[in-house]
Structure 1
């Protein structure tokens, strides 16, 4: 007895349905890609040619402070994802004998008295790469490496903080924090911040923050007013360097520095207190540095950073301690002399 064949019309309908479903799945997938965070911007290409040497702290002229920031309505305490601990670069470039130029007192003084323009002044540090040794605690003792790159081309800047826990060739956890934007007479003006975390055998997670004039789009898509002078997780350290290098903020124990801080999911009215001057033992020898610490405690998984800035290295950070809580932190200590690019 013969098996009856399905009608050709039914076969064609089933094929058409499968084709339509395939096209819909592809369309939805493409929509997800379009609606997701934009790809991370390419890194500026900079050649580091000079090894920094310790210099007498530059004599800075006190400059007029920028207009006070207006707090944004609805700004609350910021919460960022827990950060696994960092490490220094996989390899350190061969040192170059020639030392980099340091902002001379007369140059900084000239910048202080020069008329305000839209162009960045000579007080901004040259493009610089700093390498760190990472130690800390994250469910046990951790070791690794970290690298900070401050890159500038004209009025454009980028700051990249790359950290890795475990061996440099196969880190167990890595995170990149990147900021980009413009240099202005009032300091750094971030326009975009990206944070990407990778865990071995896991998918990458990324958060993107867009700062657009008086508004910020947080990583969850929420739009909020943002205060003037706001900084992100990466740009804040170079903003501190610029404030002290230009004399806009004097370095003295007990002084409090205020600025709005935008983290991936919330905003802070942030404060750093100058704890005092400390001598750090580095591969370059003992380095005098100023210790700055947040005035608020750790809560809700936020990542808080303490920083040590060295006047003899253009107020760049020679040490960073990033804390999630009392038992989870990473300690980044300068591994070698910073490298700088040639003047533009």
Structure 2
């Protein structure tokens, strides 16, 4: 660097700073895992939650569908007295990496809806709520699709999905994205639609110095690896915990 002309050095530094500020700095591509998508279904959950200091109970519906035209995921969570506290939708195609989102929208309690576009012709992820962007390298997921991508990965390689194993994804939310590591904690008994069932507990904990959502998922091999329980925990202590009550099979489209 010491022999680089000063003007060129300043230009290089400015370009690097702009690249980092825009969120477009290249990150390592996530691993390419085999996938086997669970059958389409509509899943009903009972919920308990804390939102903005309020303790709430309610219900959630998760609609999971896929076919020759791609996939769609819809999540609607409602609580007694306050109504809808979370609404998410992810839609896109299926490629060699598994789920390939095209658009993700999310609306949280008392906040406006925001969207993320996976611009595949331009190979860019773009955010409505920020000016960040990320390159599409393959395998990137959003907050809704990553649950089903993880289920599809586990379903394709159940012998490798064991306690202590780690599974890596790049996941985007409303404003940005970052690498997520899911760690398989072990098998646990949880309540399912027909009584107790054995499920793999998987957790995602953000780094201590990062702001991000903690996510715990319990996947049940005896129920097509569907998520029988989920818990979303935010930095401020707000959470939503969902327990599966009913599964309705849906024909593939």
* TM beyond 0.5: yes
CA distance change for structure 1 residues 298 and 330 in 2, over 3 Å: closer, same or farther?
farther
Q: 2:42 aligns to what? A: 129
Counterpart selection for 1:147 from 44, 51, 61 = 61
Instruction: Give the secondary structure class of the aligned counterpart of 2:113.
Output: strand
1:211 aligns with 2:118: yes
Q: 1:235 aligns to what? A: 145
Counterpart selection for 1:160 from 69, 74, 85 = 74
Task: From the two aligned structures, give the one with the greater strand fraction.
Answer: 2
Whole-angstrom distance in 1 between the partners of 2:169 and 2:153: 11
CA contact (8 A) 2:97 2:138 kept: no
Counterpart selection for 1:196 from 107, 111, 114 = 107
Superposition pairs of residues 263-274 of structure 1, within 5 angstroms: 263-274=173-184
Counterpart selection for 1:282 from 185, 192, 207 = 192
1:6-54 alpha-carbon deviations (Å, 9 max, x no partner): xxxxxxxxxxxxxxxxxxxxxxxxxxxxxxxxxxxxxxxxxxxxxxxxx
Q: 1:181 aligns to what? A: 92
Whole-angstrom distance in 2 between the partners of 1:181 and 1:291: 27
State the Cα distance separating 1:304 from its structure 2 match: 2.4
Whole-angstrom distance in 1 between the partners of 2:244 and 2:25: 39
CA distance change for structure 1 residues 307 and 287 in 2, over 3 Å: closer, same or farther?
same
CA distance change for structure 1 residues 185 and 264 in 2, over 3 Å: closer, same or farther?
same
State the Cα distance separating 1:301 from its structure 2 match: 5.7
Whole-angstrom distance in 2 between the partners of 1:289 and 1:267: 28
Whole-angstrom distance in 1 between the partners of 2:106 and 2:181: 22
Instruction: Give the secondary structure class of the aligned counterpart of 2:234.
Output: strand
Q: 1:261 aligns to what? A: 171
Whole-angstrom distance in 2 between the partners of 1:193 and 1:323: 20
Whole-angstrom distance in 2 between the partners of 1:155 and 1:230: 19
1:320 aligns with 2:230: yes
Normalising by structure 2, what TM-score? 0.78
CA distance change for structure 1 residues 157 and 163 in 2, over 3 Å: closer, same or farther?
same
1:256-291 alpha-carbon deviations (Å, 9 max, x no partner): 000111112111111000000001123411110000
1:166-216 alpha-carbon deviations (Å, 9 max, x no partner): 25xxx44432111000012320001110112464xxxx6111100123211
Gaps of 5+ in 1: 1-71, 76-111, 113-120
Superposition pairs of residues 2-151 of structure 1, within 5 angstroms: 73=25, 123-138=36-51, 139-151=53-65
CA contact (8 A) 1:227 1:260 kept: no
Q: 2:12 aligns to what? A: none
